[in-house]
């Protein structure tokens, strides 16, 4: 009997590079998703096919040797290891993964894939997913691919709620919905520089985490100021004060650029272009080093503002043709557990 799981990507409104320090963040799940259609097997074979990346097939064992660095199959093995270590190795499945989340762009396509495979394996075993238990294994499980991230991505992919951002706290993990004002709209614009967390950007990301944990003054200056901006952004959202919220996005970008040094020239230029097009605020998002910039605007002005950004910034950049989703409106959407 065939089954299906659907896991959203996410945008982090504010609170970048601080979840791994235990500070609260404010992301939201979006309408772009990873879908895994699968059929259970009687043996322990896991086989997943992707139109973009091919088929990866392996025998599910308590220990799994990784594929080559950067191979999408490592995210499948990460999920298998996470489930095996917490619930035990069981039957596998044959599946096909499709999706609308752009890869290597800061929208959490990798965490969505790990989460989708994890949910599929649990369903094959007849185990009903539990948010708290999943959050015990998913962040650590994804480190199999070498990224020393926090738990934000998995929490919002699981628990996202339509129309809301989530205030996610840690130690222990807590989730509280924060309604997005109906008059606000969010969008993402691509810097046209890939942020491959399986390549050099992964090492840089891990290095920034290590600096913060070691007490580097600049890294801590970013972390402490960003922690404060999360609380201030929630208050601005509750007051529907988009001007103040935009100021906080710009301050976040400046801190990521100057203190943590995870921005790049293309992202910096794009943030300025968003501002010139009329966005009250914009900032680089995700691990950094490229990928998407997030922006906020009045919903009634969104189409006009995006058209201006297209005309004034992207039209003169021929490399945009390699990024078909370089300019997207994003909406707060339900997480995977809301849909099971």
pLDDT in tens, 58-80: 999 999 999 998 899 999 999 99
Quote the pLDDT of residue 147: 62
Confidence of residue 215 (pLDDT cuts 50, 70, 90): confident
Query: Domain boundaries in the chain?
Result: 3-177, 179-330
Cis before 172? omega within 30 = yes
Query: Residue 209 pLDDT more than 90?
Result: no
Q: What is the pLDDT of residues 239-286, one digit of tens each?
A: 999 999 999 999 999 999 999 999 999 999 999 999 999 999 999 998
Tell me, which fold does domain 3-177 have in CATH? Ribosomal Protein S5; domain 2 (3.30.230)
What is the CATH number assigned to the segment(s) 179-330? Answer: 3.30.70.890
CA distance 206 to 289: 12
Dihedral sign of CA atoms 81, 87, 89, 94 in order: negative
Q: Which two tokens stand for residue 250?
A: 């710009």
Q: How far is CA 231 from the centre of its chain?
A: 20
Beta strands in 15-68 (DSSP E): 26-40, 45-50, 54-59
What's the whole-model pTM score?
Answer: 0.92
Q: What is the pLDDT of residues 137-178, one digit of tens each?
A: 898 777 777 665 678 999 999 999 999 999 999 988 999 999
CA distance 157 to 30: 9
Residue linked to tokens 């298998």: 80
Confidence of residue 339 (pLDDT cuts 50, 70, 90): low
Q: Which two tokens stand for residue 303?
A: 């189409």
Q: Which residues contact 214 (CB under 8 A, 6 or more apart)?
A: none
Query: Residue 197 pLDDT more than 70?
Result: no
CA distance 192 to 315: 12
Quote the pLDDT of residue 142: 75
């Amino acid at each position: 009997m065939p089954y299906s799981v659907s896991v959203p990507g996410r945008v982090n409104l504010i609170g970048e590079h601080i979840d791994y320090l235990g500070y609260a963040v404010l992301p939201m799940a979006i309408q772009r998703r990873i879908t895994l259609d699968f059929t259970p097997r009687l043996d322990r074979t896991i086989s997943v096919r992707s139109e973009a990346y091919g088929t990866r097939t392996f025998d599910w064992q308590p220990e799994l040797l990784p594929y080559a660095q950067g191979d999408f199959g490592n995210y499948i093995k990460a999920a298998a290891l996470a489930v095996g270590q917490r619930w035990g190795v069981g039957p596998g499945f044959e599946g096909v993964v499709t999706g609308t989340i752009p890869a290597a762009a800061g929208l959490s396509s990798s965490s969505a894939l790990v989460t989708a495979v994890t949910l599929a394996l649990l369903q094959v075993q007849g185990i009903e997913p539990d948010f708290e238990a999943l959050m015990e294994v998913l962040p650590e499980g994804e480190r199999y691919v070498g990224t020393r991230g926090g738990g934000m991505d998995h929490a919002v992919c699981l628990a996202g709620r339509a129309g809301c951002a989530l205030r996610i706290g840690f130690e222990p993990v807590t989730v509280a919905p924060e309604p997005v004002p109906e008059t606000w709209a969010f969008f993402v614009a691509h810097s046209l520089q890939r942020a491959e967390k399986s390549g050099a950007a992964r090492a840089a990301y891990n290095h920034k985490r290590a600096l913060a944990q070691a007490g580097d003054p600049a890294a801590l200056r970013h972390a402490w100021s960003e922690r404060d901006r999360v609380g201030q952004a929630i208050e601005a959202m509750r007051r529907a004060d988009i001007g103040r919220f935009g100021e906080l996005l710009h301050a976040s970008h400046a801190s990521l650029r100057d203190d943590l040094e995870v921005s790049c020239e293309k992202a910096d230029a794009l943030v300025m272009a968003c501002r010139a097009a009329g966005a009250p605020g914009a900032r680089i998002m995700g691990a950094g080093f490229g990928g998407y910039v997030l922006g906020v605007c009045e919903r009634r002005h969104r189409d006009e503002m995006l058209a201006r950004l297209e005309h004034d910034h992207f039209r003169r950049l021929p490399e945009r043709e390699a990024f078909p989703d370089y300019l997207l409106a994003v909406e707060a959407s339900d997480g995977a557990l809301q849909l099971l």
